[in-house]
Chains A and B, each alone.
Chain A
């Protein structure tokens, strides 16, 4: 059946048995059904929806990225640069990679980077805890004036 159809189309393309009008459909083929206004509208709406969904941002992923950034800021303030530099470097790198993958539209990879980042932030938080990461005595200049009696 398929072979026969192809053969007929090929003959038509070669000019053998071509229809009288150049715009007329080949013989034996039914014309396409006319699309109504309703179905055309639905088609356009579907296309628009698809286009918008492509542009839409992944809210849960964005929330996780923001959360990791906030956690990183917190551990940095705790002194992670001094007490957990390795973990901090890994977490910061993973956050950057997660953002890169998000831009490229690879949500799964972005999430994988966020997982590694989260683990390292947790480790940095432990290492930078005040009990483990005491601030070294600050060297000050001239002694402060004695408190007033």
Chain B
């Protein structure tokens, strides 16, 4: 009987894991998005920035419904595209500094 009790005791922990993993991924995505925004990615890399933003919003909405699997995947896509936006914005800035005005 104690053998059976161990896996059952782990079930709540596994459910808790989803939200913890999501929280970590969402924080990373949020940080990268903030970095992209600071670099003016909304203008310098609009496609990547908007794609990341959309996925971040959807990840939050899925997490609110406790669908952490989808939320984690979406947050990961958001982070990846935010990172691309950062790189692209940096490249554009190096090529043409001051070419694009950064909105406050």
Is B47's CB within 8 Å of the partner chain A?
yes
B29 to chain A, nearest CB (A): 14
Q: Which of B46, B67, B70 contacts A89 (CB 8 A)?
A: B46
B97 to chain A, nearest CB (A): 21
Q: How many residue pairs between the two chains, A and B, have CB atoms under 8 Å in the bound complex?
A: 29
Given contacts A93-B55, A100-B70, 11 further A-B contacts (CB under 8 A): A85-B47, A86-B46, A86-B50, A88-B47, A89-B46, A89-B48, A89-B54, A93-B54, A93-B58, A97-B58, A104-B70
Would you call B51 and A93 a contact (CB within 8 A)?
yes
Number of interface residues of A (CB under 8 A): 12
| Cα distance A81–B46 in the bound complex, in angstroms | 9
Would you call B46 and A85 a contact (CB within 8 A)?
yes
B92 to chain A, nearest CB (A): 13
Pairs A–B under 8 Å by Cβ, sample size 16: A81-B47, A85-B50, A86-B46, A86-B47, A88-B47, A89-B47, A89-B49, A89-B51, A90-B50, A90-B54, A93-B50, A93-B54, A97-B54, A97-B58, A104-B67, A104-B70
| Cα distance A46–B54 in the bound complex, in angstroms | 42
Is A94's CB within 8 Å of the partner chain B?
yes
Q: Which residues on B sit within 8 Å (CB–CB) of A100?
A: 70
B46 to chain A, nearest CB (A): 4
| Cα distance A88–B54 in the bound complex, in angstroms | 12
Q: Which residues on B sit within 8 Å (CB–CB) of A88?
A: 47
Contact with A along B35-77 (1 / 0, CB 8 A): 0000000000011111100110010000000010010000000
